[in-house]
C-alpha cells in the first residue's frame, strides 16, 4: 500500500473530461467506490451507473442509478410478467435485448470512454456492451480500485504539467509533480491510460529540468513518459524526446560531437513543421531543445576540444539549415524610420547590463561612475528567463514573435521599468553576449549604440548566435584568440562591427623598481608581500573547483614535485566543486577527491575557499598555476603574477589552435604536459632565478597587468 500524498493536491478538475459507465449486478457494490466516483463527478467527468438487480430500499450512490431492464419497454399490463420472465434470462442476452430496445441506454453505452464492471454479474454482460462500444476501455471488478486511484494521480499530473508549462516565467515548483511521478512509476502494472497529450506538456518541463541541472527529475519524468507510450504515443514530439534523451546521455557519458547532428536536425525539422502548421508554441519549444542540445555544455565548455572552435561552420549547419533556426538568428522586424543619432553631447546616458556574473563588471562600472562623460544606469536582469545560458521555450517564443508576422505576441522577458530605462540610453553595454545582450539588441532605441563584451563562455553558447548583430556597433573581446574564435563563428554577420581586443580590468599595478624584483608595489596600499609566509614551494590555483579547470592535472604535477622533494604544497583558492546531477561531472569530482586523499598528497593541499580578497589569499605563493582546458583571459593567473607568483600556464587545449595562452603569457610560462609543468617549476625553485623570471614576466605583461590601460581603452570605446 503506497502512502498518501504529502505535497500533491489530488482533488481538482480534470483537463480531459471523459464519460464513465459503471455497471453492476447488485447496485449496492457501488458504495465501495463511493468517494472515488464522487471525485470523478467533481472533476467534471460524466458518470452513469446501470445495474441488473432491483434496488434496495435505500442506496448510498454518488450518481443516480438506472436498471438494465427490458420490462420497462413493454405495456404496463404485461410488465409484471415481463419482469418475472426477465429474471430467468441470463444477463448477456438480457443486455442485448435491452440495448436493442432502449435507445437512450444504448447511446449511453456507445458514448462511454471507460466501462467499470463492478462485479461478476456485470462482467457477464461485457460482450454485448463491447459490441455496442468496442472502443471503450473495460475494467473488471479486481481492476476497478486501481483504475480509480491511478486516474486521480494522472489527473493531478496532467493538471500540474499544464500549469507549469503555461507559466514559464516563474521558477518551477515541482515537489508535488515529482511525488506524482514517483507514485505512478511505483505502479509497475499501471492500468489507467495516461493523457494523450502527456508528451507535449511534459516536453517543456523536462527541458526546464535539464536546463537548470535537475537531471534526476528530468530522467524520472522522461522515463515515465517513455513507459506510457504503449497508451500515449509521443507522436509529433518523438524527435523532441529523442533530443531530450541525448541531453541527458551527454551528462553521463562521453558522446562524439558528430552524434549530435542527427537529433538536432530532427528536432529542428519538427519545429519547422510546427511553425508551418501554425503550432507556434510547439515550434518554439522544439527549437529551444534543439538549440540547447547543439550548444550542450558537456560538448563544449569542459572538454579539451570543441567543434565550435575547430569546425564551427559544419557543426552549426543544422541551425542554419532550419527555417526556425534562421528566424531565431534574424534581425527583428522594425517599423518606422530610424531617428538620426543626436549630436555629441555629454554626459552620455550609459545603460550597463552586468549579466549573470555581475562581479565581473565591478571595475568597469567603477570607471564609468568616475567619468564625467557618463551618466550611468545599471540594469540587472534578474528574471529567470534571462539568467541561464539555456534558451528555453519562453525566450524562443519571444524571439520568433519579433521575426514571424503571425506569431502571437506574448509577455516580454523584461518588465516595463527595464524597457523604459533602455529606451533612455545613448549607449548600451552588455557585459556578456548572453540573453541579456540578445534582449537589448531587440529592444534598444534606434538611435542608441550597443557595445557587447565577449568571453569564452559566450562563444561556446547559443546566445552569441541570437544577438541581432545588425544593431551592434562595437564588440570587445578580452583576448586575441577570442577575437579569432568570434570571427570564425559569426563570419559576415559581424563584418560591419568594430571588434576591439581589450583585456579584463585588473587593479592598478606598477612593478617595484628595486633590483631584487622580489616584490611588487602598487597603488593599492594593502597588497601583501609575496614573500610573506612562503618558502618557495607553494603553488596556487585560483577558481579551481570546476571540471573545466582540470585540477586533477594540478594534483599530478604536485605529486611529481613531492616525489622529487618533500615540502611542495598546492593552495586551492576559491569554491569547491558544486553538487551536480551530471554523471560526468560527479565522476570527475570523485576522482579528484580520491586522488587528493592518497598518502603522497595527504597534507600537501591547502583549501582557502571562496574569498573576496584574492591578492591576500595569494600571499606567500611562489607559483600561480593554470591547468584549465580553456580560458579567455584568466584573471586569477594575472592576479597571481601581480601578487608576486611566477606563472605556470597550460596551453589551453580548447584554444590551442589560436595559441590562446601564448597570446597572453610569455612562452617560457607555457606547458602542455605534466612533465613540462614539473620541469618548469623545478627550474625556478632557486629564489634568485625565480625572482628574475618574475621581474621579466611583470615587465613584459605590464600592459595587461596594469588595469589603468584596459580602463582607458574601455572608456574610449564606450564614450567615444
Kind of pairing, strands 348-353 and 498-501?
A: unpaired
The residue-averaged pLDDT of 684-705 equals 96
Q: Which residues contact 503 (CB under 8 A, 6 or more apart)?
A: 478, 479, 633, 703, 704, 709, 710
Record the cell numbers describing residue 173, joined without a space.
Answer: 515548483
pLDDT digit string (tens) for 272-308? Answer: 999 999 999 999 999 999 999 999 999 999 999 999 9
Q: How far apart, in whole angstroms, are the C-alpha atoms of residue 495 and residue 229? A: 49
When mean pLDDT is compared across 188-202, 324-338, 508-522, the lowest value belongs to: 508-522
* DSSP E strand boundaries for 334-473: 348-353, 374-378, 427-430, 449-454
Q: What structural domains and CATH numbers belong to the chain?
A: 19-139 (3.40.50), 147-329 (no CATH), 348-501 (3.40.50.2000), 538-712 (3.40.50.2000)
The alpha carbon dihedral of 663, 665, 667, 673 has a sign of negative
Per-residue confidence (pLDDT) for residue 79, from 0 to 100: 57
Measured CA distances, 61 to 34, 56, 125, 148, 192 (Å): 6, 12, 21, 16, 23
Q: pTM to 2 decimals?
A: 0.89
Residue 181 pLDDT exceeds 90: yes
Contact 118/23 with Cβ under 8 angstroms? yes
Q: How far apart, in whole angstroms, are the C-alpha atoms of residue 98 and residue 80? A: 16
Q: Which residues contact 10 (CB under 8 A, 6 or more apart)?
A: 152, 153, 155, 156
When mean pLDDT is compared across 95-99, 153-157, 166-170, 358-362, the lowest value belongs to: 166-170
Residue 549 pLDDT exceeds 50: yes
Residue 336 pLDDT exceeds 80: no
Residue 126 pLDDT exceeds 50: yes
Kind of pairing, strands 374-378 and 348-353?
A: parallel
Per-residue confidence (pLDDT) for residue 524, from 0 to 100: 40
Q: How far apart, in whole angstroms, are the C-alpha atoms of residue 365 and residue 377? A: 9
- pLDDT band for position 534 (cuts 50, 70, 90): low
Contact 161/176 with Cβ under 8 angstroms? no
DSSP secondary structure, 588-610, as one string = HHHHHHHHHTSTTTTTSEEEEES
Q: In what order do the strands lie in the sheet with 498-501?
A: 374-378, 348-353, 427-430, 449-454, 474-477, 498-501
pLDDT digit string (tens) for 417-449? Answer: 999 999 999 999 999 999 999 999 999 999 999
Q: Which residues contact 450 (CB under 8 A, 6 or more apart)?
A: 427, 428, 429, 430, 440, 441, 444, 471, 472, 473, 474
Treating both helix axes as pointing N-terminal to C-terminal, what angle do 198-211 and 215-227 enclose, rounded to 10 degrees? 160
Per-residue confidence (pLDDT) for residue 384, from 0 to 100: 79
Record the cell numbers describing residue 549, joined without a space.
Answer: 579547470
Residue with cell 450518481: 63
Q: Which residues contact 520 (CB under 8 A, 6 or more apart)?
A: 509, 510, 511, 512, 527, 530, 642, 643, 644, 698
The alpha carbon dihedral of 476, 482, 484, 485 has a sign of negative
Per-residue confidence (pLDDT) for residue 558, from 0 to 100: 98
Planar angle of CA 248, 312, 431, nearest 5 degrees: 80
Amino acid at each position: 500500500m503506497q502512502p498518501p500524498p504529502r505535497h500533491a493536491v489530488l482533488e481538482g478538475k480534470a483537463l480531459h473530461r471523459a464519460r464513465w459507465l459503471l455497471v453492476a449486478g447488485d447496485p449496492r457494490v457501488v458504495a465501495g467506490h463511493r468517494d472515488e466516483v464522487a471525485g470523478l463527478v467533481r472533476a467534471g467527468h460524466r458518470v452513469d451507473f446501470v445495474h441488473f438487480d432491483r434496488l434496495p430500499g435505500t442506496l448510498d450512490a454518488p450518481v443516480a442509478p438506472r436498471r438494465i431492464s427490458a420490462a420497462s419497454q413493454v405495456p404496463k399490463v404485461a410488465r409484471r410478467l415481463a419482469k418475472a420472465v426477465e429474471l430467468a434470462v441470463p444477463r448477456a442476452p438480457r443486455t442485448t435485448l435491452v440495448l436493442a430496445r432502449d435507445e437512450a441506454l444504448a447511446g449511453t453505452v456507445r458514448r462511454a470512454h471507460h466501462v467499470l464492471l463492478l462485479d461478476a454479474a456485470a462482467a457477464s454482460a461485457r460482450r454485448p456492451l463491447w459490441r455496442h462500444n468496442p472502443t471503450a476501455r473495460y475494467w473488471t471488478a479486481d481492476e476497478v480500485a486501481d483504475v480509480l486511484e491511478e486516474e486521480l494521480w494522472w489527473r493531478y499530473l496532467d493538471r500540474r504539467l499544464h500549469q507549469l508549462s503555461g507559466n514559464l516565467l516563474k521558477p518551477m515548483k515541482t515537489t508535488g509533480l515529482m511525488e506524482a511521478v514517483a507514485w505512478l512509476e511505483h505502479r509497475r502494472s499501471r492500468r489507467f491510460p495516461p493523457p494523450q497529450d502527456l508528451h507535449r506538456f511534459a516536453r517543456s518541463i523536462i527541458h526546464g529540468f535539464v536546463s537548470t541541472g535537475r537531471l534526476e527529475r528530468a530522467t524520472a519524468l522522461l522515463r515515465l513518459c517513455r513507459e506510457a507510450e504503449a497508451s500515449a504515443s509521443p507522436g509529433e514530439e518523438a524527435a523532441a524526446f529523442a533530443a531530450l534523451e541525448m541531453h541527458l546521455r551527454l551528462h553521463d557519458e562521453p558522446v562524439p560531437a558528430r552524434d549530435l547532428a542527427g537529433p538536432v536536425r530532427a528536432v529542428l525539422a519538427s519545429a519547422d513543421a510546427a511553425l508551418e502548421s501554425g503550432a507556434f508554441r510547439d515550434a518554439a519549444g522544439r527549437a529551444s531543445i534543439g538549440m540547447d542540445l547543439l550548444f550542450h555544455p558537456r560538448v563544449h565548455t569542459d572538454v579539451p576540444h570543441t567543434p565550435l572552435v575547430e569546425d564551427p561552420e559544419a557543426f552549426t549547419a543544422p541551425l542554419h539549415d532550419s527555417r526556425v533556426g534562421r528566424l531565431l538568428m534574424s534581425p527583428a522586424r522594425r517599423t518606422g524610420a530610424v531617428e538620426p543619432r543626436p549630436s555629441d553631447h555629454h554626459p552620455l546616458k550609459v545603460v550597463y547590463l552586468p549579466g549573470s556574473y555581475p562581479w565581473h563588471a565591478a571595475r568597469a562600472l567603477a570607471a564609468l561612475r568616475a567619468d564625467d562623460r557618463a551618466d550611468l544606469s545599471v540594469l540587472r536582469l534578474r528574471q529567470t528567463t534571462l539568467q541561464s545560458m539555456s534558451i528555453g521555450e519562453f525566450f524562443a517564443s519571444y524571439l520568433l514573435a519579433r521575426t514571424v508576422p503571425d506569431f502571437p505576441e506574448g509577455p516580454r522577458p523584461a518588465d516595463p521599468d527595464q524597457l523604459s530605462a533602455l529606451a533612455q540610453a545613448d549607449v548600451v553595454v552588455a557585459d556578456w553576449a548572453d540573453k541579456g545582450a540578445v534582449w537589448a539588441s531587440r529592444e534598444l532605441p534606434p538611435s542608441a549604440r550597443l557595445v557587447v563584451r565577449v568571453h569564452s563562455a559566450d562563444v561556446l553558447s547559443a546566445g552569441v548566435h541570437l544577438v541581432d548583430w545588425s544593431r551592434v556597433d562595437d564588440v570587445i573581446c578580452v583576448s586575441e584568440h577570442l577575437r579569432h574564435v568570434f570571427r570564425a563563428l559569426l563570419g559576415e554577420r559581424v563584418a560591419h562591427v568594430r571588434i576591439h581586443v581589450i583585456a579584463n580590468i585588473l587593479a592598478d599595478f606598477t612593478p617595484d623598481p628595486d633590483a631584487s624584483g622580489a616584490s611588487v608595489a602598487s597603488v593599492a596600499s594593502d597588497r601583501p608581500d609575496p614573500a610573506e609566509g612562503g618558502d618557495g614551494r607553494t603553488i596556487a590555483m585560483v577558481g579551481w573547483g570546476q571540471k573545466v579547470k582540470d585540477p586533477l592535472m594540478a594534483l599530478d604535477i604536485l605529486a611529481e614535485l613531492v616525489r622529487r622533494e618533500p615540502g611542495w604544497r598546492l593552495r586551492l583558492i576559491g569554491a569547491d566543486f558544486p553538487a551536480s546531477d551530471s554523471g560526468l561531472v560527479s565522476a570527475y569530482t570523485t576522482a579528484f577527491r580520491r586522488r587528493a586523499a592518497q598518502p603522497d598528497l595527504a597534507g600537501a593541499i591547502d583549501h582557502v575557499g571562496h574569498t573576496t580578497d584574492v591578492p591576500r589569499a595569494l600571499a606567500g605563493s611562489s607559483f600561480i598555476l593554470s591547468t584549465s582546458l580553456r580560458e579567455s583571459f584568466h584573471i586569477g593567473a594575472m592576479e597571481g603574477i601581480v601578487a608576486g607568483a611566477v606563472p605556470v600556464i597550460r596551453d589551453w587545449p580548447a584554444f590551442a589552435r589560436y595559441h590562446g595562452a601564448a597570446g597572453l603569457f610569455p612562452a617560457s610560462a607555457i606547458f602542455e604536459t605534466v612533465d613540462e609543468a614539473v620541469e618548469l617549476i623545478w627550474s625556478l625553485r632557486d629564489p634568485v632565478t625565480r625572482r628574475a623570471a618574475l621581474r621579466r614576466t611583470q615587465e613584459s605583461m605590464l600592459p595587461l597587468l596594469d588595469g589603468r590601460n584596459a580602463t582607458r581603452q574601455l572608456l574610449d570605446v564606450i564614450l567615444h
